[in-house]
Amino acid sequence: MRKYDDEFKCEAVRKIHDGQSVASVVRELGCAESLLHRWKREAVEASSDSEKEVIALRKKLCEVEMERDILKKAALIFGNSG
């Protein structure tokens, strides 16, 4: 069984919190998906309230950016069909 140091775990979790998908982080780093989910859960549990708020806000920002991009594409599609 491979051992991962704390720095590696933090970097992996940071990538997820920055909006990268779990699957892409797994492919990039070569660790098991279940480990990554556990590290993410442990990081959230160990976080202070302000850190939890930052994590939640980053997640919401990613969601809103994706929605915006979808709406932009839809506007282009419907704008060009007439």
pLDDT one-digit tens code per residue, 47-56:
778 887 888 8
Q: Is the pLDDT of residue 66 over 90?
A: yes
In the chain, % of residues over pLDDT 70? 96
Task: Pick from 23-27, 41-45, 54-58 the range whose average pLDDT is largest.
Answer: 23-27
Q: Is residue 71 part of a domain?
A: yes
Q: Is residue 1 part of a domain?
A: no
Q: Is residue 17 part of a domain?
A: yes
d(CA 57, CA 62): 9
Q: Is residue 10 part of a domain?
A: yes
What is the number of domains present in the chain?
Answer: 1
In the chain, % of residues over pLDDT 90? 49
CATH code assigned at 54? 1.10.10
Helices (H), the chain: 6-17, 22-29, 33-46, 49-80
Domain range enclosing 43:
6-80
Q: Pick the residue with more confidence: 79 or 28? A: 28
Q: Is residue 16 part of a domain?
A: yes
